[in-house]
Amino acid sequence: MDKHKPPIALKWRSNTLFIVATVAIGLFTDLFLYGLIVPVLPFMLQDRIGIPENKVQSYVSALLAAYAGASVLFSLPAGWLADRTNARQTPFLTGLAALLAATTMLAFGRSITVLVIARVLQGISAAVVWTVGLALVLDTVGPENLGKVIGSIFSFISVGELMAPVLGGVLYDKTGYAGVFGVGVGVLVLDFIMRILVVEKKVAARYTSESGLSVNPGDHSSRQEGGDDEEEEEEEANEGTELLGKKEQDAFKVPSGQNKVVRALPILYCLSDPRVAVALLLSFVQASTLAMFDATIPTEAESLLRFSSLEAGLLFVALNVPYLLLGPIAGWAVDKYGTKPAAVFGFSFLVPALALLRLPTAGVVHGQKATEILWCAMLTLNGVGLAIIGSPSIVEASSIVQKYDKTNEGFFGENGPYAQLYGFQSLTFSAGLAIGPVLAGTLRDNIGYGNMNAVFAGIAGVTAILSLIFIGGRPKSLEKVARRHNLFG
């Protein structure tokens, strides 16, 4: 076979929509399978392994920690390796293999050791899929469209993250283990087919001149191409660097003589930029808030309204619908108006929205039906806020790192530092998913559900202030004060 012959159906396999859909399905599968198993774990521990009922909670917590810990530990190595491979597809498929192995072990495992290994493999898969997947999206759509694409993807996958635990509980109740793992295998099969079929833009670009196909690669997808393409890209990079301005070029210039650690993992230098650091903090707070809802809505619904797992699941609909509908619109607004307005407004909006979640438990209305309606209304407000904060973090971090990449030619290697960046993004997001439920559960048990939400409202308020100062650059008024008093260096 001619190695230069284009792959079958190259045009649609390298289509932007198909590549983005493949990444979205990959991220959805990771969060969906994670959540699908959560309500089943207590029964697995008791029925299969014989863990005493009074020790089940501690074992469940340990299994959840194994997932989060593995994801945190492997996010950076996944990003480092992805930036040193010629194609994103290989590590993307490797992550799926780990997830398939984990699901099989969970389905048939009959010892605590097997279950721990399975959760660790799930965490490794999450690290790889999030890191490589987001880098593939940037390669495909370029930074100018990243906001609306990320907003759309997060809207889609949030449904899986929030609804999977409820679906897992319902399936286990109605069909047992077979139904739970049957659905999981079905999602994995779809994910596998799409990952096998996808052709990256930079791979498809190699066949463009021979096949006459237009693949429209993203801003970072043709670093390794030769000839005229390389010259055009170099010219665009030079133009982009000139647009930064001499003063900004100096700000993003990496001094020579960096130590071995920074040279091996150059994204570390970018993390010293407060805008990148605060962008990652936004990701952490976003994940913590999402996980807080996941951890406390079912328990509070059961204690306050005596809801079943299915009825509690319906409360998530109120949270999900605005997230699903407004996510793409909020992402478009980030692309058009910048990251600062969305970050500041989104986190500011969450302050009263979270604080108002105490109303259903405060007895301001009487009767179960009225309490249900009020709670759904408050959750809908929070869904709007979550939709707004979905994309500023990734877009902001990508924008700043892109400026470092263009200003320091060759410092970040052939593929740039983007998978490394998303490795840190995955690390902070996973840390938020791990810490959010623990913090929320501890606060709810000690100070009550209403006060717990007040604490999270305070965290959102602090994040809004940090966003005002750092995200999208300092405001002009603050810049004048900073120059006058020589603040921020």
**317 lies in some domain:** yes
Q: What is the pLDDT of residues 335-367, one digit of tens each?
A: 889 999 999 999 999 999 999 999 988 878 888
The reported pLDDT for the residue numbered 280 is 95
At 74, phi and psi to the nearest 5? Answer: -95, -5
Question: Span 200-213, mean pLDDT?
Answer: 68
Q: Calculate ∠ Cα 220-342-216, nearest 5°.
A: 25
The reported pLDDT for the residue numbered 213 is 47
Kindly state whether residues 115 and 262 are assigned to the same domain. no
The reported pLDDT for the residue numbered 227 is 45
Whole-angstrom distance, CA of residue 190 vs CA of residue 312 = 29
Q: What is the pLDDT of residues 320-343, one digit of tens each?
A: 788 778 888 888 899 889 999 999
Give the rounded distance of the alpha carbon of 422 from its chain centre: 9
- For 437, the domain range is 242-489
Kindly state whether residues 195 and 254 are assigned to the same domain. no
Which span out of 171-185, 210-224, 243-257, 327-341 was modeled with the highest average pLDDT?
A: 327-341
Kindly state whether residues 168 and 283 are assigned to the same domain. no
Of 397-401, 432-436, 483-487, the one with minimum mean pLDDT is 483-487
Judge whether residue 208 has pLDDT over 50. Answer: yes
Kindly state whether residues 162 and 19 are assigned to the same domain. yes
The reported pLDDT for the residue numbered 238 is 53
Question: Span 11-18, mean pLDDT?
Answer: 87
Question: Span 210-232, mean pLDDT?
Answer: 47
The reported pLDDT for the residue numbered 221 is 42
Kindly state whether residues 285 and 424 are assigned to the same domain. yes
Judge whether residue 405 has pLDDT over 90. Answer: no
Kindly state whether residues 150 and 248 are assigned to the same domain. no
The reported pLDDT for the residue numbered 353 is 96
DSSP secondary structure, 143-212, as one string: GGGHHHHHHHHHHHHHHHHHHHHHHHHHHHHHH-HHHHHHHHHHHHHHHHHHHHH---HHHHGGGHHHH-
Q: What is the pLDDT of residues 256-282, one digit of tens each?
A: 888 888 888 888 889 889 999 999 999
Give percent of the chain with pLDDT exceeding 70: 85
Question: Span 218-240, mean pLDDT?
Answer: 48
Question: Span 141-149, mean pLDDT?
Answer: 79
CATH number of the CATH domain containing 200:
1.20.1250.20
Q: What is the pLDDT of residues 101-122, one digit of tens each?
A: 888 888 888 888 888 899 899 8
Closest CA to 201 of 214, 182, 188: 214
Q: Quick check: helix, strand or coil at residue 109?
A: coil
* Residue that terminates a domain, selected from 185, 205, 225: 205
Of 32-46, 104-118, 199-213, 296-310, the one with minimum mean pLDDT is 199-213
**229 lies in some domain:** no
Judge whether residue 81 has pLDDT over 90. Answer: no
Question: Span 127-150, mean pLDDT?
Answer: 82
Tokens of 313: 């699941």
Higher pLDDT, 427 or 309: 427
The reported pLDDT for the residue numbered 355 is 96
Judge whether residue 210 has pLDDT over 70. Answer: no
Kindly state whether residues 120 and 168 are assigned to the same domain. yes
The reported pLDDT for the residue numbered 425 is 86
Our count of domains for the chain comes to 2
The reported pLDDT for the residue numbered 384 is 94
Q: Calculate ∠ Cα 241-246-247, nearest 5°.
A: 120
Kindly state whether residues 407 and 266 are assigned to the same domain. yes
Kindly state whether residues 422 and 481 are assigned to the same domain. yes
Give the rounded distance of the alpha carbon of 62 from its chain centre: 23
The reported pLDDT for the residue numbered 275 is 93
**483 lies in some domain:** yes
Contact 413, 258 (CB under 8 A): no
Identify the band that residue 392 occupies on the pLDDT scale cut at 50, 70 and 90: very high
**160 lies in some domain:** yes
Kindly state whether residues 194 and 291 are assigned to the same domain. no
Kindly state whether residues 195 and 268 are assigned to the same domain. no
Question: Span 192-198, mean pLDDT?
Answer: 89
Model confidence pTM above 0.85:
no
**214 lies in some domain:** no
Question: Span 83-97, mean pLDDT?
Answer: 78
The reported pLDDT for the residue numbered 343 is 96
**193 lies in some domain:** yes
Question: Span 131-143, mean pLDDT?
Answer: 83
* Residue that terminates a domain, selected from 184, 205, 226: 205
Share the mean pLDDT of the chain. 81
Judge whether residue 226 has pLDDT over 50. Answer: no
**127 lies in some domain:** yes
**211 lies in some domain:** no
Judge whether residue 35 has pLDDT over 50. Answer: yes
Gap between the terminal Cα atoms of the chain: 61
Kindly state whether residues 79 and 10 are assigned to the same domain. yes
Give percent of the chain with pLDDT exceeding 90: 19
Question: Span 72-95, mean pLDDT?
Answer: 79
Higher pLDDT, 45 or 348: 348
Q: What is the 3-state secondary structure (H, E, C) of 432-472?
A: HHHHHHHHHHHHHHHHCHHHHHHHHHHHHHHHHHHHHHHCC
Q: Helices marked H in 205-362 — which ranges?
A: 208-211, 227-244, 246-252, 260-264, 267-270, 274-305, 309-337, 339-355
